[in-house]
Amino acid sequence: MRLYNTLTRQKEQFIPIKPDEVGFYVCGPTVYNHIHIGNARTFISFDVIRRYFEYLGYQVNFIQNITDVDDKIINRAAEEGITPDAVAKKYTEAFIQAMQTLGVKPPSQQPRATEELAAMISIIKHLVDNGHAYVVDGDVYFAVRSYADYGALSGRNIDQLKSGARVEVDERKSDALDFALWKAAKPGEPAWDSPWGPGRPGWHIECSAMSQRYLGESFDIHGGGEDLIFPHHENEIAQSKAAGNGFARYWLHGGMLTINEEKMSKSVGNFLLLKDVLNQVRPQALRLLMLQSHYRSPFDYSPMRLDEAESALIRVENALRNLDWAANAEPAFTTEDLGQANQLHQQLQITDQRFTEQMDDDFNTAGAVAAIYQLISDANTSISSGLAGPAHAQAASDTAAVIRRLLGVLGIDLVEASIELPAGIIALANELTGFAGDNLDKAAADLLALRAFARSTQDWQTADAIREGLSALGLGIEDTANGMRLFLTDRQS
């Protein structure tokens, strides 16, 4: 398996520190609001990468922090008129709920910054003792120039950075680039005791401390959105390495999300929260859409693409319904063409191989999804040929299993694929066949029986009326070797 390492700017062979194990750290949310759709993309990407390692048989220790103390949380508390602690609790719960809805697996451990102060203070103390950090009025700063490799991850040079406008000016710091490891408490702010007086940790030190605590001084993969490369990840590396740790070997970064080709920002007014998007689309469809792009590529979101995603998901569901149906069909007569069943079986092996090749190439989910779509297309062709018999039933059952297994690696779990008949079918049957009753299946059977009769007597008008009526309800009719059956069309509901 090869993965792109931001640190070396190339694809590298993945070699884990311990055979068959992966230590994996992904920066979690700062819980001051509901997450936006760009965050959701990052967390979906890393969920799929984790799932793929597990699929290959690795034991993955997946750690994601929750930043539950931060300026943004304190500001939000003032806005909402509640305590910072209450803000953090509220949005932590919302985050965990959102991840569950999206089908993102829970981390092996999900440490919270406010519960990990001891680990942070221990590293900061070490950095003060070995001269990489200094104390000013209860604040502790990391001395960026004391760490020679600063800038290696982001490819920036210290002197260019210094002239950059983004660096905050604080005269108490020895160098404008130095960043806070510990912030002395201001009145009314949450504070914890430390050797430097009451205060709270800086954001960057959290991840250095929590990754070390749960994954050890050296671990395999550190991930996050591309926007975290600088300064967050650069600072994490500086702190951890200056404290004598090996830290992460591979750095993976997810590409950014734009909306209608514009950067998402509050000032542009296109800031889109995940919860609002999930009012419009099923989570599985959103995953399918996002995974059609490589995780490092930019991803452009638009409402039109949501519709496409929903249609794509319906196509997948219909294919599975058709396969389940073919797998369980009891053929009225047998027209076995073993060649075709064998061909579908061969296609399964090819699909598995393609899927793995694509995922082994820096988790190319776009190629992996394409491999599944190709199999679906082949399966549809095979099923609509109308052939039947035990070999076909077996091929259909095996194909459905492969599709479900591969979708599972992408975290797309589809519920049982039986047709839910629309309630309108009762009225239609009543109108066209005189059906009286409230059983949906019986109403459907009546309509199909009448259509079969109408066709046998060349009463095309009745046959067409039934087809059109069903079509208006989102149902299609298929004539197969096993008789007629209904299927859900790709129509948007």
Q: Site residues (CB under 5 A) for Zn ion? A: 27, 207
Residue 53: partners with Cβ closer than 8 Å, 6 or more residues away: 22, 24, 60
Give the DSSP letter of residue 83. -
Least distance from Zn ion to the Cβ atom of residue 31, Å: 14
DSSP string, 28-81: --BSSSPPBHHHHHHHHHHHHHHHHHHHTT-EEEEEE-BB--SHHHHHHHHHHT
Q: Which is nearer to Zn ion, 252 or 323 (CB)?
A: 252
Q: Which is nearer to Zn ion, 31 or 379 (CB)?
A: 31
Least distance from Zn ion to the Cβ atom of residue 232, Å: 6
Q: Which is nearer to Zn ion, 77 or 207 (CB)?
A: 207
- The closest of 309, 293, 301, 316 to 365, measured between CA atoms, is 293
- The closest of 220, 225, 229 to 25, measured between CA atoms, is 220
Q: Which is nearer to Zn ion, 27 or 428 (CB)?
A: 27
**Torsion sign (Cα): 362, 366, 367, 369:** positive
Task: Please state, in angstroms and rounded to a whole number, the distance separating the CA atoms of residues 139 and 114.
Answer: 18
Sequence letter at residue 364? N
Least distance from Zn ion to the Cβ atom of residue 100, Å: 22
Least distance from Zn ion to the Cβ atom of residue 281, Å: 29
Least distance from Zn ion to the Cβ atom of residue 236, Å: 6
Task: Please state, in angstroms and rounded to a whole number, the distance separating the CA atoms of residues 271 and 262.
Answer: 10
Tokens of 28: 């979690």
Least distance from Zn ion to the Cβ atom of residue 111, Å: 12
Q: Determine contact, residues 4/223, Cβ cutoff 8 Å.
A: no
Least distance from Zn ion to the Cβ atom of residue 207, Å: 3
Q: Which is nearer to Zn ion, 124 or 207 (CB)?
A: 207
**Phi-psi bin for 155: left (phi > 0), alpha (psi -120 to 50), beta?**
left
Q: Which is nearer to Zn ion, 65 or 480 (CB)?
A: 65
Task: Please state, in angstroms and rounded to a whole number, the distance separating the CA atoms of residues 385 and 391.
Answer: 14
Q: Which is nearer to Zn ion, 27 or 466 (CB)?
A: 27
